[in-house]
Amino acid sequence: MEIRDAVEDDAERLAALADGPPDVMRNLVHDRTVRVAEEGDDTVGFVSFDAERGTVHVTQLAGTSEACERLLADPIEFARREHMSVELLVPESEREVRDAVETTGFDSTGTGPRFDGEETTRYRLEPERAEH
């Protein structure tokens, strides 16, 4: 599996993974740090994140459990270097993402906001635990 920076041409594939519009994904590539996981010619996952006020926020995470685990390494490493925490929300229906997040060492910190009527769980990883 290869991990690389996303480019604007990835928008269609990211939109398919995230079940969202390509225009939103194009904006995401420009506004956030976005990394893509590929196996051969297939995009198998992506992560987007940014940092604000001592916390790295994972704003999108999609793909297979294995891809998500590998993709989380970048925001975790950034947080470790900068002595920040990492946070993300995982919708209840995204079991593979949740499995990857928990395997990577994140702790559930409770219920997050609802998105499109779906419950989310808030996860957090502290810098001293982010040494993967």
pTM of the model: 0.89
Mean predicted confidence (pLDDT) in 1-26: 93
Residue, of 115 and 67, whose pLDDT is higher: 67
| Domain interval for residue 83 | 2-129
Decide if pLDDT at 116 tops 90: no
Sign, CA torsion 129/14/60/62? negative
Task: Report the amino acid identity of residue 14.
Answer: L
Decide if pLDDT at 30 tops 70: yes
DSSP secondary structure, 68-92, as one string: HHHHHHHHHHHHHHHT-EEEEEEET
Decide if pLDDT at 130 tops 60: no
Number of domains in the chain: 1
Beta strands in the chain (DSSP E): 2-5, 33-39, 42-52, 55-63, 85-91, 107-115, 118-125
Torsion of CA 122, 127, 131, 132, to 10 degrees: 20
Domain holding 29: CATH number? 3.40.630.30
Beta-carbon contacts of residue 56 (< 8 Å; ≥ 6 apart):
49, 50, 75, 78, 79, 82, 84, 85, 86, 87
Decide if pLDDT at 6 tops 90: yes
With a pLDDT cut of 90, the percent of the chain lying above it is 87
